[in-house]
Structure formats: structure tokens, C-alpha cells
A and B are shown apart, each in its own frame.
Chain A
Amino acid sequence: QKEVEQDPGPLSVPEGAIVSLNCTYSNSAFQYFMWYRQYSRKGPELLMYTYSSGNKEDGRFTAQVDKSSKYISLFIRDSQPSDSATYLCAKAGTASKLTFGTGTRLQVTL
């Protein structure tokens, strides 16, 4: 079992929809979780990070961690075509190493 599992999608939604992206993880010994966004043919860039439980909001984006169920979620409100990208969840381990999920490809259509 991979340490971080993520549905690869693709996920297609109309503009303005609320998007829910999800990951599960298998090791409880980690404190930080991150969401990276990767546009086509570009390197990933950090979108936001959160601690091991609770919510964090940044504009239209909300990151949520449910420690009891080992579930990580990213919600995007009022989705825009510019949100079309691959979203990678990651957990932070020792020596600042990150373990990434496979990524979910999101397409927001007009």
C-alpha cells in the first residue's frame, strides 16, 4: 500500500462549481500535509499546507485533515478555468522529505 493514495481523475467540473479533492494516508506519524498545484509541463508549486488536524482556509481554497480517518481534502470554491491543473497531496516526513500522492487532474470548463 502506498503511503499516500490519491484518485488520479480526471475530474471535470463546470466553472463556479465546488471541487473536492481527496487523499488518504497510511502512516499517522506525520504532522504536516501539503497541497501542490502543477500546471501542464511545469514544476509543482505549493498551494497550501496544514497541520495534522483541522482546517485551513486561503481565499477560495480550504485544506482539511481528518486524522481519525486519515483523510486529506482540498476544497476549491467558485472554481475557475485557471484552476485547471493537477493537484498533488503530500505528507511531510523526516529531513523535510515529502511523500506525494499520484495527483488528481482537474479540468474546469466554461
Chain B
Amino acid sequence: NAGVTQTPKFQVLKTGQSMTLQCAQDMNHNSMYWYRQDPGMGLRLIYYSASEGTTDKGEVPNGYNVSRLNKREFSLRLESAAPSQTSVYFCASSVRGQGNPNEQFFGPGTRLTVL
């Protein structure tokens, strides 16, 4: 069981370039999430997918798009990267979309620098 995997681990982009961050989970979880983590700001939710076929905006969705490709995979796309998107990005998954408590399992993160 690999849990939640993310690719790439590191990425450097120039302003205006695009890229897709990949996330996959092998725990048969319904819900998946994308966060960014910045110093002094904590973890902030970008987008989430409560179940396959649905996606919703989180706290900081501007500049990002997501695709829930299937139950296992949830990708995050930056169409035109900006220096303000320099951050560490975490993908997470959880068992169900409703009800609590609901432990979220996190991937190892992608460190993105936009020059």
C-alpha cells in the first residue's frame, strides 16, 4: 500500500509556464483534496473532490484548475504560473465525503518554485 503519492517531488517553473501536479491514492477513498502550505499561513485548501465526478473550490482556488480523473487520481493544474504560487503542495484523501471524523491522509508534497 503506497497510500497517497504525488509527482513530481520538486519543480521549478518560469512565470507564465503551465504544469500539472499529479496525485494518486490506492486506499479506495472517495474524497480527495489539494492544499498549499506557505510559511505563516498554514495549510490552505485549494480544491477538493468529495466523490468521483465532483469538484469544488476551497479557500484559495484562483489560478488553479483540477480534474478528478477517476476514483484514484486527482490532478492540479497551473495554467499560467505566477511567483505567488511558489509553495509546497499537498494532496490528501479521505474515506468519505460526508460525516466526521474523517481522517485525511496526506502525500509527501511537491515543492514548486516559480521564478
Chain B residues within 8 Å of chain A by Cβ, number: 30
Interface residues on A, range: 20 to 34
- Separation in Å of the B44 CB from the closest CB of chain A? 8
Contact B108 A92 (CB under 8 A): no
Q: A43-B108, A46-B103 are in contact. Are A97 and B58 (CB under 8 A)?
A: yes
Cα–Cα, bound, A31→B94 (Å): 18
Interface residues of A (CB under 8 A from B): 6, 8, 31-32, 34, 41-46, 49, 88, 92, 95-103
Q: Contact residues of B with A, CB < 8 Å? A: 4, 31, 33, 40-45, 48, 50, 56, 58, 90, 92, 94, 96-109
Residue contacts A-B, CB under 8 angstroms, 12 given:
A6-B42, A32-B101, A43-B92, A43-B107, A43-B109, A44-B90, A44-B106, A96-B97, A97-B33, A97-B48, A102-B42, A103-B43
